[in-house]
Structure 1
Amino acid sequence: MKLYRFLTGPDDATFCHKVTAALNKGWHLFGSPTYGFDQEAKSMRCGQAMVKDVEGQEYMPDTKLSDW
């Protein structure tokens, strides 16, 4: 199965750690990161799409992506 996630977070080290943790679990960057201003929080936010291929598994709508 092919999995897709979109990680988001504040523009700080926690976002970088979130992406790094996903890379170390076998996820791959998909496309360019995004960066924008959150008007409500008055802060910058980051986003990064991630994909992962998992052999021998079938995707189900209740698949918890963070388990992979």
Structure 2
Amino acid sequence: MKLYRFLTGPDDSAFCHRVTAALNAGWELHGAPVLTFNQETGKTYAGQAVVKDVPGHDYTPDIKLSDY
């Protein structure tokens, strides 16, 4: 089974730590990161897709992706 997650958040060290934690849990980067700027708040937000192969499981919509 292949799992997909899209991590998002303010472009700060906490976001980088979330992506790093996912990589260390076996997730792999999928595509380039994306950035967007919110003019009202003056903040930049980042997003990064990650994927993971999990053998021996069948996909169901109730799977909690963060458990993998």
Q: Same fold (TM over 0.5)?
A: yes
- Give aligned pairs, total: 68
Contiguous gaps of at least 5 residues in structure 1 = none
TM-score (ref. length: structure 1): 0.94
Q: Deviations over 1:7-45 (max 9, x none)?
A: 001111000000000000000000000011124433100
Alpha-carbon distance between aligned partners in 2 of 1:67 and 1:37, rounded to the nearest angstrom: 30
Alpha-carbon distance between aligned partners in 1 of 2:24 and 2:61, rounded to the nearest angstrom: 24
**Structure with the higher fraction of residues in strand conformation:** 1
What amino acid sits opposite 2:33 in the alignment?
P
Contiguous gaps of at least 5 residues in structure 2 = none
Alpha-carbon distance between aligned partners in 1 of 2:40 and 2:67, rounded to the nearest angstrom: 31
Alpha-carbon distance between aligned partners in 2 of 1:54 and 1:29, rounded to the nearest angstrom: 15
Alpha-carbon distance between aligned partners in 1 of 2:40 and 2:59, rounded to the nearest angstrom: 35
Moved over 6 A (4+): none
Aligned-partner SS, 2:26 = coil
CA-atom RMSD in angstroms: 0.9
Alpha-carbon distance between aligned partners in 2 of 1:5 and 1:27, rounded to the nearest angstrom: 9
* Residue in structure 2 matched with residue 32 of structure 1 by the alignment: 32
Q: Deviations over 1:39-63 (max 9, x none)?
A: 4433100000000000000110000
